[in-house]
A and B are shown apart, each in its own frame.
Chain A
Amino acid sequence: MTGRAAPLLGRFRAGYVAPSVLLVAGLLYAPFVWTAYLSLTRYDGLIPPEWVGFENFVKLLDDPALLTAIRNTLMWVAGTMLLPVGLGLLVAVLSYDIRGGAWFRVPFMLPYALSGAGLGLVWSPILSHDGIANKLLGVDTAFLQEAPHNTIAMLLVWTWQQLGVNTLLFAVGLQSIPKEPIEAARLDGASGWRLFRHVIWPLMAPLTAVVVGLALVASLKSFDIVWVMTQGGPGRNSETLAVTMYRDTFVASEYGYGSAVAVMLTVVTGLASYLYLRGRK
C-alpha cells in the first residue's frame, strides 16, 4: 500500500461500516437496552415511565397467567425435542441407506413451505369445533378450546411443518459421517439399535448439537402458530411466554410489565442455551 493511499483509506473505512453499525446499534442494541430499562418501570406508553425497581418481576411470580405460560412454553420445548427433532432423527435414520431414501422424505418437506400464519390458516378448519378432524373421527373434541390439549394439538401442527427440515438436516449429517467405522462395526456383527447407539449416534453428535440448539431456541419463542390459531386463549390457557409478552404489552398496554416478560424470556433462553452448550462438553 502506498503512503499516499493510507490516510485516504483511513477516512473511508469508518464510512463503510457506519451504515451497518448505525442500523444495528439504533434498531437492535438500543431497543434491547431500552426494554431492559422499561422492565424496571411502570409505563403505559403515554405518561413517562416511572421507576419501580423489581416490582414487575415480583408481580410476575404471582401471576397465574404467567405460570400457565411457563407450563405451556415448557410443553413446547419438550414436545419439540420429542416430535419434530426425535421423530426427524428416526425418519432420517430409517431412510438412510435404503434405495430411493430421499423420495421417502418428500412428503415431510412439503409443509415447510408454509409460514406460521399459513399453518394456522390450513389447520384452523381441520381442528375447529365443527371442523374436518371431528367429522372424520366422528367425535366432538374441543381440540383448540381446552388445556392442555390445545397446546398438544398446536404442537402436532408444528411437528407437521418442522419434521421435514429436521429430517433433512439429520439426513445430510448422516451422509457426511465417515463410512469406515460403520462398515467395520457391521463386519463385527453390529446392527440395528446397537449399530446406531454405539457407532452412528456418537459420529453425528456435532450435527445433533446444532439441530437441538436451534429447536430449543425456536420452541422457547413459539408465537406465530399460537397467535393465529388460539390467540393464546381461550381464557389465556394456551399462551406461551412470547404470546404473554405480546398480550400484556400491546393488548393490556402494560409496557413495563410486558418488558419484564420479555426480559424473563430472554434470560430463560440465554440460560437454557448456556446450560445446553455446557452440558454437551
Chain B
Amino acid sequence: MIRRAFLVVLGLIWLGPTYLLLVNASRPPDSYDSSRAWIPSPDMALFTNFAQAWESANLQESLASTALYSVVSPALGVLIGAMAGYTIVVLRLRYGFWWFMLLFGGTIFPSQMLLVPLFVGFSDAGLYDSRVGMILVYTAISVPLSAFVLRNFFTGVAFSIFEAARMDGASTFRIFWRVYLPLATSALAAVFILNFTFIWNDLLFGLTLTQTAEVRPVMTALAGLVTDVYAGTPVPVGLAAGLVVSLPTVVLFVATQRMFARGLALGGLS
C-alpha cells in the first residue's frame, strides 16, 4: 500500500509540468499569467499558437531542414553501414575485423572533439551553413551504429543463402540489395529510428555549423525561441512550438515499437 501511494504521489508530481505544458500551450497568448498558469483557459488556442510560432520563428524552414536531415542522413547512414557490414561478414573482406573496429570506433568520440575542425573545415570548403554539409555530418555520425548492428545481424544469416544466390549468377551487389537488405528490415528500421531521434533532437551541431533560418535545424531554432521568451515570444506560443516539434519522434516510436524491439534483439544490442 505504501508502495502504491509513493508511486502515485511521485507520478502526480511528474504529471504537474506535463499538465502545465498542455494547458498553457493551448491558452491564448495574451491571457497568460504565471500566477494563474494552473487554471485551464476556456479558449482552445493550441493551433493558432502554433501557427504564430510557425511564422514568427521561421519554424517552417527549420522544420523542413530537420525533416530532410533526419530522414536522408539516417537512411544513407543505414545503407552505407549495412553495405560495410555485408562486405565484412558475407564477402569476407580481408582484415574485416579491423575495418569493423575502425568504423565502430567512431561512436566513442565526444561531439566536442569534432566541432572546431568541422567548423573551420566547412567554412573553407563552402559547406558551412549548407544543407549538404549538415547531411554529411549527420550521415557520418549515423554510420558506426549502423555498421555495428548490421554486422551483427548478417553474422546470424546462413552463408548458404549467399552461395545459392551466387550459383544462380546474381552479382554481389544484387545479392546485397535483393536478398540481404530485405532480410534485415527490422534491424535497419531500429537503427534508422535511433539515428532519426538523435538528429531530430540535435542542438549542438546545428548551433555550430549553421546560421540562416533555412539551414538551421529545428531544435536550434527552438533554443533561440527560449532566449527570446522574455524578449518577445509569448510563453503559450513557445510551448505550442515545443509540443508540436516533439510529436514526430513520439509518433515514430509508438508506431514502430514492436519492430524496434525485434530489430535491436536481432542486432544483438539487447
Please report A residues at the B interface, Cβ cutoff 8 Å. 1-2, 5, 8-9, 12-13, 16-17, 19-21, 23-32, 34-36, 38, 45, 91, 94-95, 98, 104, 106-108, 110-111, 113-118, 120-126, 128, 130-132, 134-136, 160, 163, 221, 223-224, 227-229, 231, 242, 245-246, 249-250, 255, 258-259, 261-263, 265-266, 269
Contacting residues of chain B (95-134) with chain A, CB-CB under 8 angstroms: 99, 102-103, 105-106, 109-121
Contact A228 B223, beta carbon cutoff 8 Å: yes
A250 to B205, CA, bound (A): 12
Main secondary structure of the interface of B (DSSP, over half): helix
Contact A107 B35, beta carbon cutoff 8 Å: no
Which among B91, B102, B119, B223 has the greatest number of chain A C-beta atoms within 10 A?
B223
A106 to B10, CA, bound (A): 11
Contact A259 B116, beta carbon cutoff 8 Å: yes
Partner of B114, one of A31, A130, A135, A163: A31
Contact B34 A31, beta carbon cutoff 8 Å: no
Contact A107 B238, beta carbon cutoff 8 Å: no
Q: How many residues of B contact A (CB 8 A)?
A: 84
16 A-B pairs (CB sep. < 8 Å): A16-B87, A17-B99, A24-B102, A28-B140, A31-B115, A104-B4, A107-B18, A115-B200, A121-B238, A122-B20, A135-B35, A135-B37, A136-B38, A246-B204, A255-B116, A262-B115
How many residue-residue contacts, CB under 8 A, span A and B?
243
Contact A122 B21, beta carbon cutoff 8 Å: yes
- Closest Cβ of chain A: how far from B236's Cβ, in Å? 9
Contact A131 B114, beta carbon cutoff 8 Å: no
A38 to B115, CA, bound (A): 12
Partner of B34, one of A115, A122, A131, A223: A131
- Closest Cβ of chain B: how far from A214's Cβ, in Å? 12
